[in-house]
A and B are shown apart, each in its own frame.
Chain A
Amino acid sequence: MQSPLRLERRLTQPKWLNWGVPLLSLLGALILGGIVLFATGKNPISVYARIVERGFASTDAFSRTLISATPFAFTGLAASVAFRMGLINIGGEGQLYLGTIGAAFAGIAFQDQPTAVIIATMIIFGMLFGGAWAAIVGILKAKFSTNEIITSLMLNYVAAIFLDYLIFNSSSYWRDPKSYGFPTGKRLIKNAYWNDISIGSIEIPFGFVVAVVAAVIVWFLYNRTRFGYEVGVIASSPNAARYAGIRARWKIITVMALSGALAGLGGASDVGDFRHVLDAKGVQISGYGYTGIVVAALARLNPLSAIFVAVFLGGLSNAGYALQGPDFPSGLVGTLQGLILFTAVAGEILTRYRIKRQNTIADGVIV
């Protein structure tokens, strides 16, 4: 299978690639998505127009988009910090569940305190629970060099089962003893709600603001501190890191815990901002953790870009909810997300390689 095209590694990365490639990728995804839509008898232009309209075009729509974007921002940050060190943490999903458990615990346990204290403890417990859950993966990797992809993935399912257990299969601290028929969690009191911040007529969820702050902190940590520098060294050359005396094992555990804490923070925001209850089924249906990997990949692991990507994907999924119906079947949003990812990872190749036409005659002569 001799391909007519050949990939040649780029030695330098021209500047235009930084914006050109993502733009090309997005365009490619829209074209591929258009083909899928057209083939199944829909008008691509009108579908796209309605996505823009319901996702971004009014302040009302944009406020709802920010609601969808908030969990994506957290899980995107979580994936970014781990991927930056070459740790493929795909356990953001489970770490977020643990975050909801921790935050719901704090929200119920400290409900007699002032709002600021409740919110602070919810954030702390969400981060602690998510971070501890991810640290298991980090410790196993550091101690036994187990593959973190599989362990983090397996723990997602364990976390999901644990979450179900707390609400459906036990009379736990989180379950509302008064919920008959379909068991639910204990609702938080109004005092524990995280209030939106209004700018003009746009409502910004408090969690989104926290996500932006977290992104800035992560950016600073990774680009301006010794810690971030060492993480970069480990990622690009583990051996060089060892000779330089960087303790990679500790870094693995720390970075995993940090990643899990960010996902856990997303769980805390899910409870505090939106659901106000430990909603075992609702949080599992959403697949926030997996979308976080999409966010990180599209943001090319840059924490600040992750916020923008999260808003973009949030708009897509918000429009998906708003438009759901016979004209806009469920599944379309995931399909489009997947296509954007494909073209993004395929576009990544343009930043690393130059595509050349195969010159078979020359190859023969060189020998």
Chain B
Amino acid sequence: MNNNILVIILASGVFYGTPLFFAALGELFTERSGVLNLGVEGMMLMGGVSAVWASQHIPGTSWFVVLCSILIGAFAGALVAALHAFLCVTLRTNQTVAGLSITIFAGALGLSSYFANVWDVASETVKHPIRILNPGGLADTPIVGPILFHQTILTYLSWVLCVLSVVYLFRTRTGLKLRSVGESPQTADAVGINVAKYRYIHTILGGALAGVGGTYYSLTIVPQWVDGVTKGAGWIAIALVIFGFWRPDLTLLGAYLFGALQSLGLTLKSRNIQINGSILDAMPFIMTVLVLVIVSGGWAHKRLRAPAALGVPYEREER
């Protein structure tokens, strides 16, 4: 039963969806604060390359090295995000151009590749990849086991994060403040919320989560360093935030859907089912466009739209 094709498709959806979720959750926080971050791809790659470096150079037991690698991946992503926050919040530059600059600067043809060369991380395989963890033998339960519990520590962590994020955004005072900064920074400022602080913190947090997403690619999926290993996952993450209507729970489901679609072609091919892989590959992107069309007009626009101040620099002097 656990070899059923549907089970395999769902399991790979969770497996390939996890890094998408990390990056998308990060982008979600950033966008909720009113900052558009188009540099996710660059942050993921910087996280990924730093994590590989860490995993090759930090001594110690396997789990310790893995933990350090994840943290260093997150740190690298956060560092790049701090640069984005500086450009967008302090210097109030055009956020689209700033985000694209980040991706060009750090991306597949930029700093991540440069560091990979200088550190020489691509030449050997990763010594301590993030392995599948079977919590208490749960992976052997029929159907649910292989889908949900034949995963890495990062997947289990992502569920915790998902729940925490929902609580944080919709059930805490800080979360309410964060959303008000994204909706109307003027109002937030008037009631004494430090807009710049909120934007900095959540942009940097977003970058850290993107870095973890990148780490998942270089330490779990591949696991080795290849320039541009994320293959555009950062852009999918940005799309996912829209797809999930800026809500962590829906974004998680969307990530699994996109993850399943990404791997569906391969899964079907291994079962000798002939299907046009190109159409499957294109589905996430086409679906995002369709969702965007739906949420852009009418009823949905009022309830499920983007934060109102998304992408608009806040200029306090002009109140």
| Distance from A171 Cβ to chain B, minimum over Cβ atoms (Å) | 13
CA distance A9 to B100 in the complex (A): 25
CA distance A155 to B96 in the complex (A): 17
CA distance A153 to B99 in the complex (A): 13
Chain A residues closer than 8 Å to B175, beta-carbon distance: none
- For window 277-320 of chain A, which residues contact chain B by CB distance below 8 Å? 287, 290-291, 293-294, 297
Out of A145, A154, A169, A290, name the residue touching B296 (CB < 8 Å).
A145
Q: Which of these binds chain B: A116-124, A204-212, A328-336?
A: A328-336
B144 adjacent to chain A (CB < 8 Å): no
Chain B residues closer than 8 Å to A145, beta-carbon distance: 296-297
Out of B98, B107, B235, B289, name the residue touching A334 (CB < 8 Å).
B107
B242:A330 contact, CB within 8 angstroms:
no
- For window 149-175 of chain A, which residues contact chain B by CB distance below 8 Å? 149-151, 153-155, 157-158, 161-162, 164-165, 169
Contacts A169-B277, A330-B109 given; does A40 touch B98 at CB 8 Å: no
B235:A153 contact, CB within 8 angstroms:
yes
Contacts A150-B242, A155-B289, A331-B111 given; does A1 touch B196 at CB 8 Å: yes
CA distance A348 to B95 in the complex (A): 13
- For window 276-292 of chain B, which residues contact chain A by CB distance below 8 Å? 276-278, 281-282, 285-286, 288-289, 292
A219 adjacent to chain B (CB < 8 Å): no
Out of B116, B278, B292, name the residue touching A150 (CB < 8 Å).
B292
CA distance A150 to B31 in the complex (A): 14
Out of A140, A146, A294, A330, name the residue touching B104 (CB < 8 Å).
A294
Contacts A1-B194, A90-B96, A147-B296 given; does A338 touch B110 at CB 8 Å: yes
A346:B93 contact, CB within 8 angstroms:
yes
B90 adjacent to chain A (CB < 8 Å): yes
A345:B113 contact, CB within 8 angstroms:
no
Out of B87, B107, B117, B227, name the residue touching A345 (CB < 8 Å).
B87
Out of B36, B110, B196, name the residue touching A331 (CB < 8 Å).
B110
B110:A154 contact, CB within 8 angstroms:
no
- For window 37-91 of chain A, which residues contact chain B by CB distance below 8 Å? 40-41, 88, 90
- Among residues of A, the one whose C-beta sits closest to the C-beta of B111 is A335
Out of B87, B105, B112, B293, name the residue touching A146 (CB < 8 Å).
B293
Chain B residues closer than 8 Å to A110, beta-carbon distance: none
Contact with B along A334-361 (1 / 0, CB 8 A): 1101110110011011000000000000
A8 adjacent to chain B (CB < 8 Å): yes
- Among residues of A, the one whose C-beta sits closest to the C-beta of B112 is A331
Grouping DSSP codes into helix (H, G, I), strand (E, B) and loop, the B interface class, with mixed when no group exceeds half, is helix
A331:B238 contact, CB within 8 angstroms:
no
Out of A8, A140, A169, name the residue touching B278 (CB < 8 Å).
A169
A329:B296 contact, CB within 8 angstroms:
no
Chain A residues closer than 8 Å to B101, beta-carbon distance: 294, 297, 338, 341-342, 345
B171 adjacent to chain A (CB < 8 Å): no
A342:B105 contact, CB within 8 angstroms:
yes
- For window 175-204 of chain A, which residues contact chain B by CB distance below 8 Å? none
A331:B114 contact, CB within 8 angstroms:
yes
Contacts A1-B200, A331-B113, A334-B111 given; does A8 touch B87 at CB 8 Å: no
A332:B114 contact, CB within 8 angstroms:
yes
B285:A333 contact, CB within 8 angstroms:
no
- Among residues of B, the one whose C-beta sits closest to the C-beta of A332 is B114
CA distance A157 to B281 in the complex (A): 9
B278:A165 contact, CB within 8 angstroms:
yes
Chain A residues closer than 8 Å to B110, beta-carbon distance: 331, 334-335, 337-338
CA distance A331 to B106 in the complex (A): 9
B317 adjacent to chain A (CB < 8 Å): yes
CA distance A50 to B115 in the complex (A): 20
B227:A331 contact, CB within 8 angstroms:
yes
A243 adjacent to chain B (CB < 8 Å): no
A342:B239 contact, CB within 8 angstroms:
no
CA distance A7 to B93 in the complex (A): 12
| Distance from A143 Cβ to chain B, minimum over Cβ atoms (Å) | 8
A237 adjacent to chain B (CB < 8 Å): no
B57 adjacent to chain A (CB < 8 Å): no
B109:A161 contact, CB within 8 angstroms:
no
| Distance from A22 Cβ to chain B, minimum over Cβ atoms (Å) | 15
Chain A residues closer than 8 Å to B278, beta-carbon distance: 161-162, 164-165, 169
Chain A residues closer than 8 Å to B107, beta-carbon distance: 334
| Distance from B123 Cβ to chain A, minimum over Cβ atoms (Å) | 12
B97 adjacent to chain A (CB < 8 Å): yes
CA distance A209 to B159 in the complex (A): 56
B92:A7 contact, CB within 8 angstroms:
yes
B160 adjacent to chain A (CB < 8 Å): no
A290:B293 contact, CB within 8 angstroms:
no
Interface, chain B (partner A; CB < 8 A):
36, 38, 83, 87, 90-94, 96-98, 100-118, 194, 196-197, 200, 227, 232, 235, 238-239, 242, 276-278, 281-282, 285-286, 288-289, 292-293, 296-297, 306, 315, 317-318
Q: A155-B289, A161-B281, A334-B113 are in contact. List 19 more A-B contacts (CB 8 A).
A: A1-B200, A7-B317, A40-B114, A90-B100, A140-B292, A147-B292, A150-B242, A157-B282, A293-B100, A329-B117, A330-B117, A334-B107, A338-B106, A338-B110, A341-B101, A341-B104, A345-B87, A348-B94, A349-B92
Q: Please list 18 pairs of residues, one from A and one from B, whose beta carbons are closer than 8 Å in the complex, sorted by A's number.
A: A3-B90, A9-B318, A36-B114, A145-B296, A146-B293, A150-B238, A155-B289, A157-B285, A162-B282, A329-B114, A331-B115, A331-B227, A334-B109, A335-B110, A337-B104, A338-B111, A346-B91, A349-B93
